[in-house]
Structure 1
Amino acid sequence: MRHRQNPTLPPAPAPAEPLVPPAGDPADQEREAGVAHLFELHYSSMLRLAVLLGADDPENVVAEAYYQIYRKWRRLRDVAAAEAYLRSTVCNLTRMRIRHLQVARRHEEKTPDETVVSAEHAALLRDDQRVLIDALQQLPPRQREALVLRHWLGLKEGEIAAAMGISGGSVKTHTARGIAALTQAMEARR
């Protein structure tokens, strides 16, 4: 079905020139032409695929897939298999982004519903937090650092050891002593 052009609208713009002029190398020209042809043929179906797979930003997923195939064009053994490679890349990128979003959502700070919490409970909680922070500040620097890295940033023992420049055993010692001191300070308060 052909659409007639509306006489009141200006004619469609001419195709844009490529952003990067093709280099003199025939392999570069072949890559430019191949990716452009692949884009013309499969962009909309790749976009649909990303949407159906649940990508939150399907345009970016497809753009990244085309970028990856552009970079790896010379290493493709079979240029005819480029569509399959592109499809696989869209699937993998979508899967990675969904996984990333799930992890990010799991680690979002959950704020308590202020309307449900009583004023007394909120005051006691703030008071406990203040006491805990004061007790944390009273700890020796290594114990405080180990506890903050472990419980605030969620680092593992090896990561803490690397960040502090100490052994894993020292991390365990500083963490255990810090927890014991904080527990004692909180118990003394009650």
Structure 2
Amino acid sequence: MRAVGVVADHDPPPTLTDLYRARRLDMVRLALFLVDDLHTAEDVVQDAFAALCRTYGTSLHGLQDPGAYLHTAVVNAARSVLRRRRTARAYTPPHPAAGAPVDEGLLLAEEHRQVLDALARLTRRQREVLVLRYWSDLSEAQIAQTLGLSRGTVKSTASRALDALEKKLEAGR
């Protein structure tokens, strides 16, 4: 195997395979000293070799000193990793908005229970009209067809049912 370093004018440049075999471990050690993480160091070196291959191909023709190029690529990639780390560590996420009070679920559940209790005390027809209107989101015409009533009856029943429901809820407080 020929030495990989500065290429003399009469010697052909080393291939990418030659450079990889000769310098990979040295470059991983260098990257490890810079980024302090073996997996990241290996990724940095792999990316440097991949960039070298994309730019010059596997024969490395046109590259005066492949070892120096690789060294510079590893150092620059390690610097980029360190910059990203520093940015990530400096980021302070915004404070989350104050959440709902701890007992809000309990209060809401109690309010729902009170509404359901008051609804149960309505007449069957009033309860049906309100449930179809506000739970099933049906129109007056759809409710009238479903219950076999006139549209006017549905309208007046809904109005009376809401009044009765409101009174029952106020009485329960």
Coarse TM-score class (shorter-chain normalised): 0.3 to 0.5
- TM-score by length of structure 2 reads 0.41
The structure number with the bigger radius of gyration is: 2
- TM-score by length of structure 1 reads 0.38
